[in-house]
């Protein structure tokens, strides 16, 4: 995800990195060439004058803009739900860390709070890799013991397996007399929240926007853009290509942005910055555990993902 400070309005006119324009240039260039051809032929194809004028295209463009608005709202709802789930993950991770650190007699037993914190950090990175379909080994190998790593890497749903290991740590702490039944129940409440977060993220990943709806809107956008030069050529003449490219950029860019944020856990420029969030959550729980976070660690997440 591209994260920038608020820029001057004039500089934003020329922003390239993070915009969808680079991917749209071939399509806009094709429309520009088509518009030039239509203007050169004055809207005549094989001796047939295409009988279009701006009035129906204006009405159709208004309806198309409404549909694109609904499409973008649906995609942004998915994006924002994903962000709220990861915000809840931060809060739950902090709560679990605080609970583990404040157990009675914890320093008098061989129950390791640092092991719990490492397991929690491993859970966060495992969730990121599951959502992206990437290999979690490199992020997990330094957080888990050999036995834990072998169990987790061999599993398909790694966050769920790590939740089981976290619950086993709590059970061990109870057996050592560090936790009573009420405290164990409070741990279980937060484990349930972790489970809800994983389920919510999996729901977003496994339930895309219906394909037929996407295809319909995609076809409609491009048919409209290809017909637009024929409706404008009589009134705009050689200004037609410029206006067509500008209008097409608006519609096609809206569709491209919706496609990007529809799957918020990916690695495109406008997806959620999961790498940054994983590092930040991992840092905050380790800092709560007494580890000092250096300045370089705190500032290395300027623009990540």
**pLDDT tens digits for range 26-63:** 999 999 999 999 888 887 877 777 777 888 888 888 88
In whole angstroms, what is the distance from residue 71 CA to residue 253 CA?
Answer: 12
The whole-number average pLDDT for the span 5-11 is 71
The whole-number average pLDDT for the span 219-234 is 90
In whole angstroms, what is the distance from residue 191 CA to residue 279 CA?
Answer: 21
| Full DSSP string of 51-109 | ---HHHHHHHHHHHHHHHHHHHHHHHHHHHHHHHHHHHHHHHHHHHHHHHHT-TTGGGS
pLDDT at 1: 61
pLDDT in tens, 165-201: 999 999 998 888 888 899 999 999 999 999 999 999 9
pLDDT band at residue 3, thresholds of 50, 70 and 90?
low
| Distant-in-sequence contacts of 281-284, Cβ < 8 A, 24+ apart | 281/89, 281/90, 281/93, 281/121, 281/124, 282/121, 282/124, 282/125, 284/90, 284/93, 284/94
pLDDT in tens, 58-91: 888 888 888 888 889 999 999 999 999 999 999 9
pLDDT at 116: 94
pLDDT at 299: 41
Average pLDDT score, the chain: 87
């Amino acid at each position: 995800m591209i994260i920038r400070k608020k820029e001057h309005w004039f500089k934003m006119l020329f922003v390239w990195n993070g915009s969808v324009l680079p991917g749209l240039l071939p399509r806009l260039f094709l429309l520009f060439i088509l518009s030039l051809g239509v203007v050169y032929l004055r809207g005549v194809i094989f001796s047939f004058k295409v009988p279009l004028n701006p009035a129906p295209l204006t009405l159709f463009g208004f309806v198309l803009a409404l549909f694109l608005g609904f499409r973008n709202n649906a995609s942004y709802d998915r994006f924002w739900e994903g962000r709220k789930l990861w915000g809840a993950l931060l809060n739950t991770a902090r709560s679990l860390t605080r609970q583990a650190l404040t157990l009675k007699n914890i320093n008098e037993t061989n129950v390791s709070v640092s092991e719990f914190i490492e397991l929690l950090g491993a859970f966060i990175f495992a969730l990121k890799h599951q959502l992206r379909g990437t290999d979690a080994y490199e992020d997990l190998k330094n957080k888990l013991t050999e036995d834990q790593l072998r169990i987790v890497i061999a599993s398909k749903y790694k966050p769920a397996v790590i939740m089981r290991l976290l619950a086993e740590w709590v059970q061990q702490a109870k057996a050592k007399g560090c936790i009573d039944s009420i405290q164990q129940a409070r741990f279980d409440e937060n484990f349930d929240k972790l489970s809800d977060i994983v389920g919510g993220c999996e729901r977003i990943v496994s339930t895309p926007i219906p394909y037929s709806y996407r295809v319909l809107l995609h076809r409609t956008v491009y048919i409209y853009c290809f017909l637009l030069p024929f409706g404008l050529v009589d009134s705009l003449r050689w200004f037609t290509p410029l206006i067509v490219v500008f209008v097409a950029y608006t519609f096609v860019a809206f569709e491209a942005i919706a496609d990007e944020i529809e799957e918020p856990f990916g690695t495109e420029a406008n997806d959620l910055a999961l790498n940054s969030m994983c590092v930040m959550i991992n840092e905050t729980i380790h800092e709560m555990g007494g580890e000092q976070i250096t300045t370089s660690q705190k500032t290395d997440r300027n623009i990540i993902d």
